[in-house]
Amino acid sequence: MEERIPLLLKILLVMKKLFVFLFLTFCMFSQMTAQGGYAFQQLSHWDDNSLPISSPNNLKLQYSGCWGIAVNGHEYAVVGGAEHVLFFDITNPTAPELVGKFQGTANTVWREFKSYKNRIYAVSDGTTEGLMIFDMSHAEDTIVRSYWSNAIFEKAHTITLDTTSGRIYLNGGSANEGIMVLDVSQNPDQPTFITHASFQGGGLHDSYVRNDTIYASSGYDGYYIYDMTNPLAPNLLAQINTGGYNHNSWLNAAGTHAYYTEEIPAGKPVRIIDLQLLSLGEIEEVGGFLDKFSIDNGDKTAIPHNVYIKDNILFNSQYEDGLLAYDISNPTQPVLLAQYDTHPENAVYNGYFGNWGNYPWLPSGNIITCDMQNGLYILSLNPSVKTQEPTEALAVQVQPNPVQDQLTIQVPQQGLRWFLTNPAGQCLLFGQINQSEETTVSLKQVPAGLYFLHVQSATGREVVKKVVKE
């Protein structure tokens, strides 16, 4: 009986998660039906349990980053394995075919990719493998590893590639305390070193680039934006302290808003930054959102990991909750469209398991996504629906602002919580709005300065207001 009880509990927990998932799916379906029926459909799934495992803290990780590329009328998925770079022909999305398996020199948790001129550029962290370049110009006949060297650098945590300028930006690893810049515009198979630039925000975990501007996720140092027109003289445009470990970000198509994830601590929402005054050196956090599909387990809860944006759809790889899609037509009020659980075996949140990343830009519209333990998934998102306005808009008003002693918060509903943070993300005050749709907060003990008032619903929908205390 002593051996059966844990097994029985495990079965009951999995059944509980299945019930919760079905209940949420029903609720989501009701909402999605009103919006026209968005849903993910699994086209195929590939997993090979014989592949090597990288097991820090018993994660049993076999896969990491993923990317996609379309060449010569074929579509390909690229997946990082613990010891390999894997290539799949997914032109027939219902039958992915492993067409390339390239051995590295180390067992690692981290492999990341970007594409440029029919090439795949691969980096890894925790290794000395340097840069791999794969020429896919002659795929489907052959995939050639055209370059593999650690002469310029040994490791990078992530890679960013500006397809307009042909510059590679290396984040983390050997590029500590800044960013390393390479050029492949003249010869995509032979990188040349430009600079290793020091940044005010220190080292980067990841970055996004558009128009020679780097949007840097700088871990606990926050979010920094640099003009890299002259990579030898980076110019800091704006900066914001985000409180957690700033992990990755992406911009909407209009470039008016950035969406970033914070991997640590668990439970941090995807946050939104307004960039419309960036030319004046001003950026502002204006909201956040988090939707959960498993059960909280102490300090273990949902973790958004990597977000990417195609048109007005944001794709969020949220570890144990799988892949989530949001309509961001209204940039500050995202609408959850669909969720696909690539890691259904957990009943409660356990930490760093599940969906690592995704690639939503294939010509077919199919989506590549990868689960660290369960492998490659090819999904489609029902495109037949026009997205509509959000059903849960938090119209929050605060007054007076600037404020001296008493701040009044007006909200459209009860059952909300609020908390006041300083620019470093430290929580100074918090409370609930339970009895009415208006509450008064005393700021007498708060020093004069700039603060942020966060108002959050039970589902994690969040609005952030800037408050000035006189």
What CATH code is carried by the domain that includes residue 293? Answer: 2.130.10.10
Residue 439 pairs in a beta bridge with 409
Rounded CA separation 83/50 (Å): 12
Rounded CA separation 320/327 (Å): 21
Average pLDDT for runs of 10 along the chain of length 470:
41 46 36 48 96 83 98 98 98 98 96 98 98 96 96 98 98 93 98 96 95 97 97 97 96 98 96 96 94 90 98 97 96 93 92 97 98 98 53 71 89 81 74 80 88 75 77
188 and 127 in a single domain? The answer is yes
Can you give the pTM of this predicted structure? 0.79
- Residue 278, in any domain of the structure: yes
292 and 418 in a single domain? The answer is no
Q: Cα separations (Å) of 82 from 46, 110, 144?
A: 16, 8, 20
259 and 305 in a single domain? The answer is yes
Rounded CA separation 464/470 (Å): 19
328 and 463 in a single domain? The answer is no
Where is the domain boundary, 350, 383, 416? 383
215 and 323 in a single domain? The answer is yes
- Residue 133, in any domain of the structure: yes
- Residue 392, in any domain of the structure: no
457 and 312 in a single domain? The answer is no
- Residue 372, in any domain of the structure: yes
Rounded CA separation 308/252 (Å): 9
375 and 425 in a single domain? The answer is no
365 and 461 in a single domain? The answer is no
Q: How many domains does the chain have?
A: 2
Rounded CA separation 213/388 (Å): 32
- Residue 388, in any domain of the structure: no
152 and 292 in a single domain? The answer is yes
Where is the domain boundary, 349, 383, 417? 383
pLDDT at residue 394, rounded to an integer: 63
Residue 246 pairs in a beta bridge with 219, 262
Domain ranges, residue 461: 397-469
Rounded CA separation 108/129 (Å): 10
- Residue 390, in any domain of the structure: no
126 and 75 in a single domain? The answer is yes
- Residue 28, in any domain of the structure: no
* 399 class by beta-carbon count within 10 Å (0-12 exposed, 13-18 middle, 19+ buried): exposed
Where is the domain boundary, 329, 360, 383? 383
246 and 366 in a single domain? The answer is yes
- Residue 252, in any domain of the structure: yes
CATH of the domain at 415: 2.60.40.10
CA 27 to chain centre: 25
Residue 32: CB atoms within 10 A of its CB come to 19
270 and 325 in a single domain? The answer is yes
Q: Cα separations (Å) of 247 from 18, 218, 237, 264, 370?
A: 30, 7, 20, 8, 18
